[in-house]
Chain A
Amino acid sequence: GESVGLHLPTLSVQEGDNSIINCAYSNSASDYFIWYKQESGKGPQFIIDIRSNMDKRQGQRVTVLLNKTVKHLSLQIAATQPGDSAVYFCAENVGGNKLVFGAGTILRVKS
């Protein structure tokens, strides 16, 4: 069935360190993946996306890696800042319309 899951529910990192958030997906037919950041009381905020014809994509301080062989997605945040503290969701675009979200990983940045 369709499901997207995360390995680690909570990640604590020291300010300035790099963060890596992982995600496993199960629908091998999915061809579009997105990472969202959600702060308390707010809606999900788009961070970065990647299509299945790529294995890496970089943005400002963030990199998404896609490994289709093992159906694994990761989000790397460089030089993590206190403002990065939030819940991070990976999402899988299924059938051109709906997104299937994982349960989320809490990122806590310690100053």
Chain B
Amino acid sequence: NAGVMQNPRHLVRRRGQEARLRCSPMKGHSHVYWYRQLPEEGLKFMVYLQKENIIDESGMPKERFSAEFPKEGPSILRIQQVVRGDSAAYFCASSPGPQETQYFGPGTRLLVL
């Protein structure tokens, strides 16, 4: 039973480019969450999605960041015009429903040069 899948595992971008991070939830999970982790810090919530709906985006920066979870395919976290401060590890988690255990993927480590 595959866990949460994320790709790419590592992503290098130059300032001003776009970054696309993908997340496939565990089988049977319809709730997806994105978190960001800076070095030696805890994870910070960004956004919570269900299929085709954004439920809570209170942790998303107002500009340049967007997320989607289409009816078919993985959830995508998109960062436009990346800046050095976007360098971090981005983790996706999934759960079968709200208030249930969130299981995390291996993360995507974004480095902005």
- A interface residue numbers (CB < 8 A to B): 4, 32, 34, 36, 42-46, 49, 89, 91, 93, 95-104
Name which of A42, A49, A99 has the most chain B CB atoms within 10 A of its CB.
A99
A44 touches which one: B41, B55, B91 (CB < 8 A)?
B91
Total interface residues in chain B, CB < 8 Å: 27
State whether the Cβ of B96 lies closer than 8 Å to any Cβ in chain A.
no
Query: Inside 8 A of B35's CB, which chain A residues have their CB?
Result: 99, 101
User: Is residue B48 within 8 Å, beta carbon to beta carbon, of the partner chain?
Assistant: yes
Would you call the interface of chain A mostly helix, strand, loop, or mixed? strand
Task: Report whether A104 and B56 are in contact in the complex, using a CB–CB cutoff of 8 Å.
Answer: no
Which B residue sits closest to A98, measured CB to CB?
B45
> Which residues on B are within 8 Å of A, measured CB to CB?
4, 6, 31, 33, 35, 40-45, 48, 55-56, 58-59, 91, 93, 98-99, 101-107
Find out whether the CB atom of B55 lies under 8 angstroms from the CB atom of A43. no
